Amino acid sequence: MRFPLIGAHAVLAWLLPVSVTACASPAARPAVAASPAAATMRSTAIPTTLALRGEALAEAKLRLQQGDAALRPALDKLVEDADKALRAPLVAVTQKSTVLPPSGDKHDYFSLSPYWWPDSTKPNGLPYVRRDGVTNPESKRDLDQPRVARLGSTLQTLALAYYFTGEERYARRAAEQLRAWFLDPATRMNPHLRYAQLVRGIDRERGSGIIDTRWFIESVDASRLIHGSTHWTDADDASLRQWFAQYLAWLVKSPNGIDESDAPNNHGSWYAAQVVTYALFTGDTATARHWLGTIPARIGAQVTPAGEQPRENERTRSLHYSAFNVEALSRLAELGRHVGVDLWTYESPQGGSLRRAMDLVAPALLEPAKWPGRQIDPVDPAETSIHLRRALTVYGDAKYAALIARLPQPLARTDRSMLLYPGK
């Protein structure tokens, strides 16, 4: 699929906070006394997050303030994770010490494609050959992909902890991490991915590496969650938007980005999720609407009426990648809500839809042995909860509640998805 590029800018009026009392269901808020710890929490204004559902976060926060015991274990786990993140070192793209990108510039992001290995039939192993689904440990050593994954995970943890507790130490560390990766001249990343997921022995750039920075979606939402903290200034926010405006321009104009936009599988879905997120964040609603407008055709091409995803089923980790693509499409559906684009209920003329894909994947994540495709490694149970709780929030179907009831303990009680999609 080749999609034309559109670039225009508009103000995001919908980013202004509103009171949760206009959106929260009284039935979802048990009338119980607030705990002493909850008394320190900040107001329950709906956060201006993009991929995260702001009103669901505000609902969870309000229920915690009112002493909802069902959500407390998830908050306790979040705070435990955030306290660990406070002690962990910051990550930066300039921390490479043993390998550098072809440019020689540490500020350039550099990673190796994970499923490519030395060719045992060649004296020097070059060029590398692909072994789908089998990760070469070399791709995790002193390269930027593990760092960017830590970046996104850490920022979400710290920012959510700040939102739910109001403790400035979490916002301070999140702000330090945002500055280290995106803003500090000594350590910031150059806003492009020319050297992402390169393959040794193949002398060309690859658009497929753009999927590495899907973690920037968490980074953007983290900046929205700490907005208003004394540690994240308006100048910081403006500088971060400027960085993402430059990165967005590279994504939609570079040969790498155009190539990745054509990917008919999860790569194309995650590309679109990134472009829409960064466009909304920087105020470019025209670009966001354009790319959201291409997603119905993508869903129709990717999902069969039975909910199967043929492009993902070809893989050696077919269940993982089917769920991975559902996650990308779900992010796009959440983003679409901000500009009135409904992807949650869209059904293609052939009958494929995001809901059908989710209906097929969700039960299989609980019972991977029943999945008909190849899955050469175990499925992480932690991948399951977010799909089920999001689907229950969106569709309100009792079958998702029944599947949630089958989640292993204590995962069901402590998983972060309890706070992201608290349900009723």
Which residue ranges form the domains of the chain, and what is each CATH number? 1-14+266-424 (1.50.10.100), 87-261 (1.50.10.100)
Global pTM reads 0.90
- Cα maximum dimension of the chain: 71
- pLDDT of res. 324: 98
Residues 6+ away with beta carbon under 8 Å from 141: 98, 99
Which whole-number Å values give the CA distances from 58 to 31, 225, 294, in the listed order? 16, 11, 31
DSSP string, 298-363: HHHHH--TTS--HHHHTSTBHHHHHHHHHHHHHHHHHHHGGGT---SS-B-TTS-BHHHHHHHHHH
Ranges of the chain with pLDDT below 70: 1-43
- pLDDT of res. 254: 98
Report, in angstroms and rounded to the nearest whole number, the Rg of the chain calculated over CA atoms.
Answer: 21
Instruction: Say how far apart CA 233 and CA 241 lie, in whole Å.
Output: 13
Instruction: Say how far apart CA 4 and CA 401 lie, in whole Å.
Output: 41
Q: What are phi and psi of 330, to 5 degrees?
A: -65, -40
Cross-strand partners of 19: 45
Instruction: Say how far apart CA 155 and CA 250 lie, in whole Å.
Output: 24
Query: Residue 420 CA to chain centroid, in angstroms?
Result: 13
- pLDDT of res. 147: 98
Which whole-number Å values give the CA distances from 292 to 54, 210, 372, in the listed order? 20, 18, 31
Asked if residue 370 lies in contact with residue 397, where contact means CB atoms within 8 angstroms, the answer is no
- pLDDT of res. 43: 66
Helix, strand and coil percent figures for the chain, each rounded to 5: 55, 5, 40
